[in-house]
A and B are shown apart, each in its own frame.
Chain A
Amino acid sequence: MTKDIDCISKKKFMEKLESYRKGSITRRHFLNVTGLGAATAVLGATVPGLRPTPALAGDIGDRVILATWPNYHDVANFDAFTEATGAHVQVNVFGSNEEMLAKLQAGATGWDVYVPTNYTFEDYVKEDLIEPLDVSRLPNYDPSAFDPRYAEAGSVNNTLYGVPKNWGSTGMAINTKHNGNKAISSWKEFFDITMDKFSGRTVVHDYQLTTIGSALNYYGYSFNSVDPGELADAEKLLIAVKPHLFAITSDYQPSMRNGDAWLTICWSGDGKQLNTDIPEIHYALGTDGGEIWSDYYAIPKSSERKDAAYALINFMLDPNVNAKEVQEHGYPTADARTYDMLPEDLKNDPIIFPAQDLLSPLEFGAAVTLTDPNRAELMARFKSA
């Protein structure tokens, strides 16, 4: 590196600076030939607190916008990414895949990376909203490291559109303090206790997929059912339950933590986070059904910072980074390299990596479950009832 800097004479430097100012060479080229880029990188790495400013790091732009889910990242990793690239990670948090889809359908979102769930890919591809991924730009992506169960939905017609982020389950979290220290483990119990001694204390998601799915499980129907008769039963249950609910929201952690809510439909990572901080909150999977899912990193077609998007995804796929993510948010990883780096207690954690037989009643959400107009309208009727 120092050699580069020695190589350039004062005169040549001024010439280059002039051509950079005139715009005949790019900033990147200027930084490379003058060695300033390398010098900054060295300084940035050795002098703590001297962050490469966007103007000098320059390669991928000054920011990248990530659309993701609540409580789903280790912020320190974003800081490290900024440190390494100069691009700031701007995070937009969403409550449902429908909302993400609606925003993308409506036009420019400004997002560069987003985190769709397994059942959305067919629609994104059909609507031409998602960018096929160029694996050569994702050196940290090693397909053989991933459990195919949690990776296959990222490809449609043999084209790769998404690389696995995390998988998880949708179960229930109960504050056992209010139930004689007993947890519950079925959707039947979930809704029955809500209409009984937990009245006014239960939260269901503001998300048709999981809320209607859980109500369908109550009757022993499939989580993914779009059968009008079965949906009518689910609607009857939800309407009956509504007066007993504390809230209809996908942001249930605050009210579970402050004690206003005692029971909620819960994603496994939230369950882990709640259980870690408040041990009497238990997370359980429904023995009568529920959802298993897998989230992916993907790039919307409309992204205007694709370099930054690839850089961020590649960074997050680094097992060192990914392992920190898992320890922060408590969602399991499908990446064997990352799994190997996790501490033993996480590998054996029953919430993060549940026993296979507990997973077997669960279903992956289907594309039709997301887009079925009757389910959408049912949810809206339930909410406005």
Chain B
Amino acid sequence: MTKRTRNWLLLAPAGAWFLVMLIIPLTVVFIFSFGERAPSGGVVLAFSFEQYSNLPARWAAFKNTMTLAPIGTLLALLIAYPLAYFLAVKVSPKWKIILLVLVIVPFWTSILIRSYAWIFLLGGRGIPALLDMIGIEGVRLINTPFAVLVGIIYGYLPLMVFPIFVSLDKLDKRLLEASSDLGAKSWQTFLQITLPMSIPGIATGCMLVFILLMGEYLIPAMLGGGKVFFVGNALVDLFLQSRNWAYGSAVAVTLVVVMLITVTVYMRLISRLGASREDVSIM
């Protein structure tokens, strides 16, 4: 067996997986997106751009997704970073494991059930009732964009914590000592050593959370009461309610394109940031 054949053989399972699970479904969706809705639902193949010209009718869904996904990612980052920092740098090794497990524990229960808990917490008899007791009346939380934001931050926080934790955990603590020996204040050390060193973790965490949020469906459906609409919800409706597969495919293709563009731009930014970081470390 030549090296070449062996390489091909080793790549075959992954290649087959990509073909069956990624390339074929995406191609089907792409082809459907130029079709038309069959009279009683489904799709008739055609070559028309009608579905794409109807896209503005889902503008609000794209707008909601494109605002709430980045905001959610950013807030998750702001909440996750101190937590990850605390876990990686401040906690004794004995507690580290226990606390890390506690971060994972929510994943042992389905997000669906945890979202139901939030429905109660944010509903009229939950947090608003508590606020009412201390004199803040008429607060409405459930079925608002705020509720959706709380849900997505809660749901995706661990995905942000872990990559950042890993990058901070690997951080060589001697660098921090060296920094302070050389007279840097603690905030200078943080900005010049800790933060740049954790950029890979931040980048990975943000990417993970952002991509998943762009396709989010469940949390807006449950905590948004059908009023806070993501592209994911629009897709479910198009396939399961109005049964307009052609239009649904066009929306899906558009989402993929939007996501590709956003992620590419993001990667460029990150790699530029990474490059400049190396300059810093050489200095």
Contacts and interface: CB of A to CB of B under 8 A. Distances in A.
Nearest to B138: A200
Interface stretch (A36-44, A70-78, A240-248): A240-248
Contacts of B243: 98, 101-102, 105, 376
A197 interface: no
B60 interface: yes
A208 interface: yes
A102 B142 contact: no
B57 to A, nearest CB: 6
Interface of A is mostly: helix
Nearest to A249: B226
A93 to B, nearest CB: 13
Given A102-B41, A208-B241, A384 B229 contact: yes
Interface stretch (B97-105, B166-174, B231-239): B231-239
B226 A255 contact: no
A127 B40 contact: yes
Interface in A355-385: 371, 373, 376-377, 379-381, 383-385
Contacts, number: 88
A376 B241 contact: yes
Interface string B219-262: 00000011101000110011111111000000000000000000
A246 B119 CA distance: 13
Contact of A255 (B60, B123, B229, B240): B123
A123 interface: yes
A102 B244 contact: no
B125 A102 contact: no
B241 A200 contact: no
B53 to A, nearest CB: 14
B225 A376 contact: no
B41 A380 contact: no
A260 B123 contact: yes
A258 B125 contact: yes
B147 to A, nearest CB: 11
B116 to A, nearest CB: 9
B242 A247 contact: no
Interface string A200-218: 1000001010000000000
A200 B60 CA distance: 20
Interface of B: 37, 39-42, 57-58, 60-61, 119, 123-125, 140, 142-143, 225-227, 229, 233-234, 237-244
25 contacts: A102-B41, A102-B239, A102-B240, A102-B241, A103-B240, A105-B42, A105-B243, A123-B40, A206-B226, A208-B241, A208-B242, A245-B225, A247-B143, A247-B227, A248-B225, A254-B119, A258-B124, A260-B123, A371-B39, A376-B242, A376-B243, A379-B241, A380-B57, A380-B237, A384-B233
Given A258-B124, A260-B123, A385-B60, 20 more contacts: A96-B241, A101-B243, A102-B239, A102-B240, A103-B240, A105-B41, A242-B227, A246-B143, A246-B225, A247-B143, A255-B123, A259-B124, A371-B39, A377-B244, A379-B242, A380-B57, A380-B241, A383-B226, A384-B61, A384-B233
Interface of A: 96, 98-99, 101-103, 105, 123, 126-127, 200, 206, 208, 242, 245-249, 254-255, 258-260, 371, 373, 376-377, 379-381, 383-385
